[in-house]
Amino acid sequence: MQITGQLTLTVLMGLFLVIIAAWLARIEDWRSYTPLGSGGAAGESGYVSQEKPTGISRWLTTVDHKDIGMLYGAYGVLAFVVGGLMIMVMRVELLDPGMTLISNSFYNSLLTSHGITMLFLFGTPIIAAFANYLVPLLIGADDMAFPRINAIAFWLLPPGALLIWAGFFPLGDIIPAQTAWTLYTPLSTGAGGGNQANAGVDLMILGLHLTGVSATMGSINFIATIITERAEEVTWANLDIFSWTILTQSGLILFAFPLLGSALLMLLLDRNLGTSFFAIEAGGTMLWQHLFWFFGHPEVYILVLPPMGIVSYVLPRFAGRRLFGFKFVVYSTLAIGVLSFGVWAHHMFATGMDPRLRASFMAVSMAIAIPSAVKTFNWITTLWNGKVRLTTPMLFCVGFVSNFILGGVTGVFLASIPVDLVLHDTYYVVGHFHYVVMGAIAFAGFAGLYYWFPMFTGRMYQRRLGKIHFWTWMIGSNITFLAMIVLGYGGMPRRYATYLPKFATFHQLATLGALLMFVGGLVWTYNFVVSWLEGPKVQDGDPWNLRDDGMYTNEWQWFEDRQETAITDGGDEDVVTDGGTEE
């Protein structure tokens, strides 16, 4: 049975390589296929001179930053749905204290995959989606600096996802990883009598490695693009805030992800080739934790900085005034970038590490709270006395600020060693970071999706459904994550598939909130699919009436130019903008 499974895998892999080789051989002239690798020469447009191919070949061969942005977006949304369905199964299981619906090992598998899917397959790619589509438009560039590297970076992701989820597919004896997303040793080295020596864990590690390579390639591209491809008028003094956050995030990726890659390779060597990097008598369990969190904490900021950029960019459009303290936000973004590399061991306060080192990590963790708080005050001050229009993207921005305050303040407590020692490994931590990753990061992502929906699709979504989506998510996320905070105070440990009956009420509340978010997710899916196909077409380049407040920006100017040059289809339907009411 095992040999047959291996043979099948080998044959499939061989076939895959033959297809790639055959496809590469069919391309006659690489130069005619792509823009200049150097990003365009004087007097010559960087765009492809021929029309794009149509249909599926367009999407498989594209090097256009907007197409690649759309691919990243589709990929990120798909991963979000998968990760969301995984958590729904887990939350339904947690309605009851015992094991009822699924086995505890399957719960562990879902727990592991939910974390990795949301962080690596949804979080990073959905940010890359916005960055790919918008950064060249915002800085006045023809395309990314390295369009083909851009395409390669994306196409590494689908195989990465397949490898990460491989354990769930019917592939012989391969089982899903149950290591949790942190892959702590010695569990993840496959030591002991458990089942984590299974090839499913190796495949997941390889998939994770691929997504890391993809993110690194993307980050190099963004750094090169923002530094070298800006239009003459776009100087450091008027570079938009979203591009600033992408530049900082790319710097973080450049220093953090290669370290993750190295640590993962060491882990693979320990698992398969008999090395002993993480053996107890060698590096021990602490070595992995240090290596992992030196990547893992910057990863948190890799995920949160661009969403902060989206909120800093979108929120002022509907407050009718420029972002208060723009340069405060820029400098504090850079400060977070540097300090994020000095706080990694606050994830390890309970490991018994030297108390002097712990004290330093606490100090830097306190210091990094300042730049985050500064941004919050800037957003609130921007709203102060502004001409607030409560459109759906604006609601998601305000929801972001609210949830980020809750997630951030609970985090400041965790930065303090004595508090952390009490709350470590409880649901308090889970509640804290879900307020940030779901309540803030995902909210900002959806603010961006709604705000730029008219640009991405040329149509307008249904405003009522957008607002229903927001309110189900806002109420649902607060019910779920607040219940988690309370559970943590009560001493409920995280990662457990079963629990004591005294925790049942708050677990049921958390599931209720999750169900509410599930309903909101269905509304969102329906709204976007139907509006994309049948929504009223946007007739001008200013669907949000930004010109009225003098808030019109580069990417909408590009959109307007495109609208004007496009052939009109004679539609007579007026666009229904999500205007909101002025207050």
Q: Are 303 and 127 in contact (CB under 8 A)?
A: yes
Structure tokens at 314: 């979108």
Structure tokens at 420: 């952390």
| Residue 259 makes contact with another protein by CB under 8 A | no
| Residue 400 makes contact with another protein by CB under 8 A | no
| Residue 518 makes contact with another protein by CB under 8 A | no
Residue from 193, 355, 501, 570 touching another protein (CB under 8 A): that is 355
Site for another protein in 307-336 (CB under 8 A): 313, 322-328, 330-332, 334-335
Site for another protein in 116-175 (CB under 8 A): 138, 140
C-alpha atoms less than 13 angstroms from C-alpha of 360 in its C-beta half-sphere: 9
Pairwise CA distance, residues 523 & 130, whole Å = 22
State the minimum distance, in angstroms, from the CB of residue 331 to another protein.
Answer: 5
State the minimum distance, in angstroms, from the CB of residue 466 to another protein.
Answer: 24
Residue from 42, 56, 237, 533 touching another protein (CB under 8 A): that is 237
State the minimum distance, in angstroms, from the CB of residue 330 to another protein.
Answer: 7
Burial class (CB in 10 A: 0-12, 13-18, 19+), 545: middle
Q: What is the residue type of 493?
A: P
Pairwise CA distance, residues 480 & 427, whole Å = 11
| Residue 342 makes contact with another protein by CB under 8 A | yes
Report CA-CA distances (Å) from 459 to 296, 413, 530, 578. Answer: 39, 45, 10, 12
| Residue 238 makes contact with another protein by CB under 8 A | yes
Q: Which is nearer to another protein, 322 or 537 (CB)?
A: 322
Q: Which is nearer to another protein, 79 or 223 (CB)?
A: 223
| Residue 227 makes contact with another protein by CB under 8 A | no
| Residue 31 makes contact with another protein by CB under 8 A | no
In angstroms, how far is CA 400 from the centroid of its own chain? Answer: 15
Q: Are 463 and 392 in contact (CB under 8 A)?
A: yes
Q: Which is nearer to another protein, 341 or 496 (CB)?
A: 341
Residue from 182, 376, 557, 577 touching another protein (CB under 8 A): that is 557
| Residue 359 makes contact with another protein by CB under 8 A | yes
What residues contact residue 147 under an 8 Å CB cut-off, 6+ apart? 34, 35, 37, 63, 64, 65
For the CA atoms of the chain, what is the radius of gyration?
24
Taking Cα atoms as reference points, which of 320, 314, 391, 319 lies closest to residue 581? 391
Find the part of the chain contacting another protein (CB under 8 A) among 31-39, 457-465, 478-486, 548-556.
548-556
| Residue 544 makes contact with another protein by CB under 8 A | no
| Residue 45 makes contact with another protein by CB under 8 A | no
Structure tokens at 393: 């993207």
Q: Are 393 and 444 in contact (CB under 8 A)?
A: no
| Residue 26 makes contact with another protein by CB under 8 A | no
| Residue 366 makes contact with another protein by CB under 8 A | yes
Binding interface with another protein (CB under 8 A): 138, 140, 231, 233-242, 313, 322-328, 330-332, 334-335, 337-339, 341-342, 354-357, 359-361, 363-364, 366-368, 370-371, 374, 550-555, 557
